[in-house]
Structure 1
Amino acid sequence: MRTYLLRRCLYMLLILIGASLLIFFLYSLTPGDYVDNNLSLSEERKAELREIHGLNKPIFERYVNWMANIFKGDFGYSLAQQRPVLDLFQDYIWNSFLLAVVSTFFTWFFAVIVGVLTAYKQYSLLDTFIMVGIFAAMSIPSFFIGLFLIKVFAVDLKILPPGGMITTGSRAEGWDYIVEVLHHMLLPVAVMILLGVGSLTRYFRSNMLEVIRQDYVRTARAKGLKERTVLYRHALKNAMLPAITLIGFELPGLFGGSIIIEKIFNWPGIGQLYMQSFTVRDYPLLMGFTMFLAILTVVGTLISDILYHTSDPRVRL
């Protein structure tokens, strides 16, 4: 295990160096930046800003300085927000994390239950109805579902807020603040569940269909075990093993935010900040956040590999 971890850490370092090269040069070689786009600045002020932030240095020297700062925990300085990128992460990323972790939990919860049920009732009327609904939800754009739910529940029925994290001007504290945030979360979480549960349900359904045809499942039924025990203790346990590999992709998603959902519901998350940074070409923030996601991706992949080996000792690292 120790040798494997050392080798994987070396691979991760090489992958991150390659990703950093791609991220930095892709943004740096793009024509125009925040200083060039800011028409309110004089030429003298633009030259001063380039000198302060090192934008007038050779591109390779800027890359070396940028990577050296990242190793120190400094992901850059946002020119548009006039704050360090890491401070902006701390202000916005936890709002996105709250939205993502709740929606991910319920997405997996519903996907497992529906996947097992449709696999057990394969080709039944229930299976057909659920699969048609899943494909329909996957084919509808997220912005349409979001706007439709806002119209129905916020505009017509007036039972849920149309957006935001708290009510404008609210001074709620303690439990009242928690209730208010949860109230505002209902619509965006519902949209994220509808968008994510379809593909995940199909994944669990196909895994269950493969597992319930195995010999050990037939043996368990031949022993006279209850069908619920066969499905959830024997079949589902083994059908969940391939899903462990998805954890590596869930980790960056928990912190990456959902750009469209946060924009529609005016949720103050990192996804909306990322979109605003694109508009003003705030490349230091864009580079820092993209590099942060790259780090989460390789770390999540390592965690999923270790969990897979822990759950199934037959898998060799």
Structure 2
Amino acid sequence: MKKTVILISSMTVLLAVILGIALWPKSSDDSSSNGKLTIVASTNVYAELAKTVAGDQANVSAVIEKQSVSPEDYEPTNDVAKKVSQADIAFGNGLGYDAWLNKLAKTSKQTQLVLVSDLLKKDKSANPHLWNDPDNMVNAAQGLADTLSKKDPAHKAEYQQNAKAYKEKLQPVTDKVAELKEKAKGKTAFETESVYEYMLKDIGIQLTGTDFADAIAEDTDPSPAVMKKIQSSIQNHQVDFVLQNTQTTGGDVAKLVKLAKAENIPVVNVTETSPDKTSYVDWKLSELNQIEKALS
């Protein structure tokens, strides 16, 4: 999904929300009324992970649960700001993808900010779409389990066991990735935006046209030379399939997708954010099955 320039009006909204937190009385109980920890995740994908790891020892909720809402462009409401400020843990992606969560969590003395990018020790220049690598998700689950074990040592064994259960839960995805590695040898793909490169690299697929994909991700126009180069690659069938983020629109993307279809090159449709009420495993398998079909 395209990164957008932060407008002054958006900044004003966020600043007003953060300022308002200071005026709210803090709960006398550091956790929820039932004595459990509270975890607020930025998206439903990370909420699913946190629910598995925390098990019965925490109340977990997601700020963004609908695919139609972009985490990059999201403007938190006062209710969301209050919810984050009163949580024990705010769990997010990092790398600027959900920067609003960072700002809200840091206004509260009781909320611990836990970012997947930090758990994975990712550099600031890393691609922010960390969830498109199942290994990243497994390692993030272990990192969250370690964090919870320190915060709530009485239930350490449960958290550690739940992290192992999450790894087992993702096994169908990791198995499919391993299966596709054999079929992907020597294959090349072009992605319209750099949202899926972790998964493509896991499979062993070579990428072309990365300058175009990076430009779209940064919300800039690809240069004519970049556009011409990828058009040539598609016309000369140097691309085995095109991977399109269907949540990104634009004339240049549409032209290349149309060209690929005209050249009978398979187009794989993926989304940057999870479809509503769809598990991580089902989401990723639906995309990987498309890739398998494109490679056959």
Q: 1 or 2 for the larger relative contact order (CA 8 Å, sep ≥6)?
A: 1
Q: Which has the larger radius of gyration?
A: 1
Please report the TM-score for the alignment, with normalisation by the length of structure 1: 0.24
Structure having the larger proportion of residues in helix:
1
Higher strand fraction: Structure 1 or Structure 2?
A: 2
TM score, norm. by length of structure 2? 0.25
